[in-house]
Amino acid sequence: MDSSPSRLPLLALAIAAFAIGTTEFVIMGLLPEVAADLHVGIPAAGMLVSGYALGVAVGAPLLAALTAKLERKRALLLLMGLFILGNALCAVAWSYDVLMVARVVAAFCHGSFFGIGAVVAAHLVPANQRARAIALMFAGLTLANVLGVPFGTFLGQWAGWRSTFWAVTALGVVAAMALARFVPALPNLKAPHMATELRVLREPQVLIALGMTVLGFGGVFTVFTYIAPILQEVSHVSPHWTGAVLVLFGLGTTIGNMLGGRLADWKLMPSLMGILVVLALLMAAFAWTMHDTVAAIVTIFVWGIASFATVAPLQSRVVHVAGDAPNLASTLNIAAFNLGNAGGAWLGGAVIAAGYGMPVVSLAGAAVTVAGLVATMASVALERRRPARLAAECI
3-state secondary structure 85-150: HHHHHHHHCCCHHHHHHHHHHHHHHHHHHHHHHHHHHHHCCCHHHHHHHHHHHHHHHHHHHHHHHH
CA distance 13 to 113: 9
Mean pLDDT for the chain? 84
Predicted pLDDT at 394: 31
CA distance 361 to 350: 9
- Using the predicted structure, report yes or no on whether residue 208 has a pLDDT greater than 80: yes
DSSP 7-55: HHHHHHHHHHHHHHHHHHHHHHHTHHHHHHHHT--HHHHHHHHHHHHHH
Report which of 243, 332, 314 is spatially closest to residue 25, judged by C-alpha positions: 243
**Residue 86 neighbours by CB under 8 Å, 6+ apart:** 102, 103, 104, 105, 106, 107, 108, 109
- Using the predicted structure, report yes or no on whether residue 395 has a pLDDT greater than 60: no
Question: Domain with 94 in it: what CATH number?
Answer: 1.20.1250.20
Are 330 and 319 in contact by the 8 Å Cβ rule? The answer is yes
Domain around 124 = 4-394
Q: What percent of the chain has pLDDT over 70?
A: 91
Q: How many domains does the chain have?
A: 1
Q: How far is CA 163 from CA 81, 90, 108, 160, 325, in A?
A: 20, 10, 22, 6, 41
Are 219 and 376 in contact by the 8 Å Cβ rule? The answer is no
CA distance 321 to 49: 30
How many CA atoms does the CB half-sphere of 99 hold within 13 Å?
24
Predicted pLDDT at 386: 66
3-state secondary structure of 193: coil
**Residues making up the chain, counted from first to last:** 395
Tens digit of each residue's pLDDT (9 = 90 or more) over 250-308: 888 889 988 888 888 888 899 999 999 999 999 999 999 999 999 999 999 999 999 98
Are 43 and 358 in contact by the 8 Å Cβ rule? The answer is no
- Confidence band (pLDDT; 50, 70, 90) for 42? confident
The pTM score is: 0.72
Report which of 134, 125, 376, 131 is spatially closest to residue 265, judged by C-alpha positions: 131
Q: How far is CA 271 from CA 120, 211, 261, 329, in A?
A: 24, 18, 10, 21
Tens digit of each residue's pLDDT (9 = 90 or more) over 304-344: 999 989 988 898 888 788 776 666 777 788 778 878 887 88
Are 305 and 259 in contact by the 8 Å Cβ rule? The answer is yes
Going by the DSSP 8-state scheme, the letter that residue 184 receives in this structure is P
Q: How far is CA 207 from CA 66, 199, 265, 271, in A?
A: 22, 12, 22, 20
Are 152 and 26 in contact by the 8 Å Cβ rule? The answer is yes
